[in-house]
Structure 1
């Protein structure tokens, strides 16, 4: 009787956890993990499947509450074989559930950044923690150019990929490209340029003030976002090693073709940037997700807690709810401080 009463009382107080992935916590503060760049999550069948850049392997987390990632179940789903063109520098993985199968997209190289390309793996199981992950190969156009940060989405029954790539074969500028996909592992046709660095806030790359230092013009980390039948791409701009790393917005007018560059409009100012007041620096490489009931839109992003921390292991994943402007565009607000208590999605 005493044991039963204690069980009831602890359950009512939210102090008893019967499922390691479930807690009664209703609030959280950022960051949601101490480290983890390029965060991405997918909601499927009652759980969030979360991942971020680890570098030498692919790891997947499973939780019903992203605020509890530190205690969530996680699994290494793939370690690359050595000596391949995709064995090292595994960046920005994304897990997608497409037509009843799981796919993970990621960028990788052989230790030489010039050889970064996009790759994909497939799992036919309903549960990505089960079944076998099959390496499907490289995802790219006939040009076979440098490529990172692939994001796939479906619009009007057509599957697309967007990514960051070089215009040629040498470093110096990263653009956003789009292409139609024949299937989840094959691009159909050519890539189309829809954004390149135009504004000063997209071209911050020099921390040393040395005129001989490369000033890198960057558009990367594109993410598809839709709301009330409007289509957007939110992307990261400027070099990740600067505090000026920020998010820009591309808007599709809805009347044309996604593959037509003139159908996209770029916002002249960043829509999400560092906050000195809140102590958040270099926020970027985001993704979006909805609350479990589908009523709220949230942003996942990484940022630093101090200025000058660059794009290493000090970047930590954070999340906050977003709103929508009267003109239908996303309102991301300001990166909240680490002292701000937020309600869970």
Structure 2
């Protein structure tokens, strides 16, 4: 009887075993290499980024609208871990009390200068202003108000930037042709010192929104930024209204030995050099800057973009960065905007 029960139990176990499906093999998991990598954005709610470098540190600014702040970091890919220092708060009233836009920080002969656009609450009164600081570290010391930068013709002006070249100081900005608004153009002049325009000169218009890709929303050339390489000077600017998803970067180029105040010295690219939007969380790319990696081997582009369509010109714009290379003719090759959150190798030396 025991033998019979053993046989029956054996048959039942065999049937149950036969009914079990074969185990599905677990596919191998490929680990994501996050060591030495980072993902954009570097900062959220941070339009109009600017980066400068000195003594092993990066100093970063962006538009807040209400004050001027500087981030200090030794690693751009870890910018989000830096804490900003508010270095200037505008007066309660006056010509530079409202709409503080696009600050840029420069060191000229050991002295720091911040250029920023501001008005009294009326956009048509936007002008460029200058602050000065003799401290070694711009997040310390005292910032002295040098007042309005008296640009030639005293017209509406925003997005000013500085070039130190061949012992000369050049200043470029975006402005209106008249006091009545309309299209924005790029202008240039020479400075006698960081806070004084050369006397008895006129502003030189270098670029106007000529192409269709510069007229999305309305005609805009703004956010000019100088880039030098070899025997070339480039002026990379933002085109079209920042409230559209088709904001993009254009480019002017000139020989470094040429007269930069002569419009004939400059050649304009007929197509955008970066953007317009590439989807994947990169809409409205523009208002750029440049820096080199800590090891001095890499060139990087910093810019702002929106993460979704239709987010416009507000604080949803975040700071992004990506490396760029050079074309055989010596001009920058920015490539397409990187998708948001794509892992990139950290800049060399970080």
TM-score w.r.t. structure 1 length? 0.88
Asked whether the equivalents of residues 324 and 334 of structure 2 are also in contact (C-alpha less than 8 Å), the reply is yes
Residue by residue, what CA displacement relative to the aligned partner does 1:296-344 show, whole Å, maximum 9, x if unpaired? 1111100001111101011000000011111111111111012311111
Q: The residue matched to 2:330 in structure 1 has which SS?
A: coil
- In the other structure, the counterpart of 2:205 is 193
- In the other structure, the counterpart of 2:88 is 78
Q: The residue matched to 1:68 in structure 2 has which SS?
A: helix
Does residue 89 in structure 1 map to residue 99 in structure 2?
A: yes
Aligned length: 312
Residue by residue, what CA displacement relative to the aligned partner does 1:71-93 show, whole Å, maximum 9, x if unpaired? 21321000011111100100000
- In the other structure, the counterpart of 1:55 is 65
Larger relative strand fraction: 1
**What is the alpha-carbon distance in structure 2 between the residues aligned to residue 107 and residue 128 of structure 1?**
19
**What is the alpha-carbon distance in structure 1 between the residues aligned to residue 51 and residue 278 of structure 2?**
27
Deviation of 1:127 (Å):
1.1
- In the other structure, the counterpart of 1:157 is 167
- In the other structure, the counterpart of 1:312 is 314
**What is the alpha-carbon distance in structure 2 between the residues aligned to residue 304 and residue 341 of structure 1?**
18
Q: The residue matched to 2:53 in structure 1 has which SS?
A: strand
Q: The residue matched to 2:99 in structure 1 has which SS?
A: strand
Asked whether the equivalents of residues 278 and 335 of structure 1 are also in contact (C-alpha less than 8 Å), the reply is no
Report the structure number with the largest CA radius of gyration: 2
Deviation of 1:256 (Å):
2.5
1:250 to 252, 257, 260: 252
1:203 to 184, 206, 215: 215
1:230 to 229, 232, 239: 232
**What is the alpha-carbon distance in structure 1 between the residues aligned to residue 152 and residue 278 of structure 2?**
44
Residue by residue, what CA displacement relative to the aligned partner does 1:89-124 show, whole Å, maximum 9, x if unpaired? 000001111101000000000111000000000001
Gaps of 5+ in 2: 1-33
Deviation of 1:142 (Å):
4.0
Q: The residue matched to 1:339 in structure 2 has which SS?
A: coil
Gaps of 5+ in 1: 1-23, 206-215
Residue by residue, what CA displacement relative to the aligned partner does 1:177-232 show, whole Å, maximum 9, x if unpaired? 01000000011122111101110000010xxxxxxxxxx21000000001112110
Deviation of 1:255 (Å):
4.9
Asked whether the equivalents of residues 287 and 300 of structure 1 are also in contact (C-alpha less than 8 Å), the reply is yes
Q: Structure 1 residues 277, 106: closer, same or farther in 2, change over 3 A?
A: closer
- In the other structure, the counterpart of 2:271 is 269
**What is the alpha-carbon distance in structure 1 between the residues aligned to residue 89 and residue 236 of structure 2?**
30
Deviation of 1:295 (Å):
1.6
Asked whether the equivalents of residues 34 and 316 of structure 1 are also in contact (C-alpha less than 8 Å), the reply is yes
Asked whether the equivalents of residues 220 and 239 of structure 2 are also in contact (C-alpha less than 8 Å), the reply is yes
1:118 to 128, 150, 164: 128
Asked whether the equivalents of residues 57 and 78 of structure 1 are also in contact (C-alpha less than 8 Å), the reply is yes
Aligned Cα RMSD in Å? 1.3
